[in-house]
């Protein structure tokens, strides 16, 4: 099996660190000028890993047109690949939404020129033994078969051509009713590598049930204990699932 080729971009990390240092200096200078009253927060920070897409990632909207993921709202319908083919699915919740952080992403490019930017622990579907299997992006290899939306909106197979690392602003993790979503035309899971895709989807069953009863109630619950763009119940669930015995 071919080994994954990773192109590390240290200059980008250095640039981001320099930008953050400059912001710290500007804030300190502003505080001196105002006698310590300047409290403008430094919003950009560099995160090492999470299960998300960058703000520049695109989905296909209800009309089939590309739309940036950072413009999505709960209730918007997007294209997702299911066992019934490609269909529209509503976004029911964001398990992570943090516009102002810098995040490292894997940039996965295919032979058909599809480009997916995704965090290393997020799940996407590749072909294993003739079937679609959800694996963490960090385990994807050059030559692996992925599933994409073709020119006529049909499901097609594609091959990974290159993998590199980049840094971009914003982290977004929308969840649809089906638990899958087409991002930049690539078939991905809505979930992170905590459990398998199937078990994560079962765990989200409660959220889906609440959504069916009252979408407003689900959004209210997501606001309780929200921290760093992650709802309190999501952080609690992830902490419980990752406890070491």
Q: Which residue has the higher pLDDT, 68 or 100?
A: 68
Pick the range with the lowest mean pLDDT from 10-14, 131-135, 213-217, 233-237.
233-237
Architecture per CATH, domain 10-192, reads as Beta Complex (2.170)
Rounded to an integer, the average pLDDT of 118-142 is: 95
Look at residue 27 and give its three-state secondary structure. Answer: helix
Please provide the DSSP assignment of 55-116 as one string.
TT-EEE-TTS-EEEGGG--TT-EEEEEETTEEEEEEEEEEEEEEEEEEEEEEEEEETT--EE
Run of H or E including 174: strand 155-176
Show me where the domains of the chain are located.
Answer: 10-192
Higher pLDDT: 220 or 102? It is 102
d(CA 35, CA 5): 52
* pLDDT given at position 2: 44
Look at 43 and 214; give whichever has higher pLDDT: 214
Please name the helix (run of DSSP H) or strand (run of DSSP E) that holds residue 125, with its range, or none: strand 122-128
Give percent of the chain with pLDDT exceeding 90. Answer: 47
Structure confidence by residue, pLDDT tens digits, 85-119: 899 999 998 888 889 889 999 999 999 999 999 99
Phi, psi of 34 (to 5 degrees): -105, 15
pTM: 0.71
Residue 201 scores a pLDDT above 70: yes
For residue 114, the tally of other CB atoms under 10 A from its CB is: 19
Per-residue pLDDT of 156-191, as tens digits, reads: 999 999 999 999 999 999 999 999 999 999 999 999
Burial class (CB in 10 A: 0-12, 13-18, 19+), 234: buried
* Alpha carbon distances (Å) from 81 to 67, 89, 90, 92: 17, 9, 13, 16
């Amino acid at each position: 099996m071919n080994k994954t080729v990773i192109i590390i971009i240290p200059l980008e990390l250095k640039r981001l660190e320099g930008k953050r240092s400059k912001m710290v200096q500007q804030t300190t200078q502003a505080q001196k000028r105002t006698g310590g009253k300047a409290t403008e927060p430094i919003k950009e920070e560099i995160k090492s890993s999470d299960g998300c897409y960058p703000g520049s990632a695109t989905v296909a909207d209800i009309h089939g047109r590309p739309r940036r993921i950072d413009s999505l709202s709960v209730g918007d319908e997007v294209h997702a690949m299911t066992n019934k083919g490609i269909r529209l699915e509503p976004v029911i919740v964001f398990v992570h939404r943090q516009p102002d952080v810098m995040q490292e992403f894997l940039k996965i490019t295919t032979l058909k020129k599809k480009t997916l930017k995704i965090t290393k622990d997020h799940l996407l579907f590749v072909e294993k033994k003739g079937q679609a299997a959800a694996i963490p992006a960090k385990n994807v290899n050059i030559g692996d078969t992925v599933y994409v939306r073709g020119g006529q909106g049909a499901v097609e197979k594609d091959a990974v051509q290159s993998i590199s690392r980049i840094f971009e602003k914003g982290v977004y993790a929308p969840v649809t009713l089906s638990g899958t979503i087409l991002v930049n035309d690539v078939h991905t899971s809505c979930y992170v590598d905590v459990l398998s895709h199937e078990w994560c989807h079962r765990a989200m069953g409660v959220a889906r049930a609440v959504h069916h009863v009252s979408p407003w109630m689900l959004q209210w619950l997501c606001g309780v204990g929200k921290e760093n763009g992650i709802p309190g119940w999501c952080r609690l669930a992830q902490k419980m699932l990752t406890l070491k015995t």
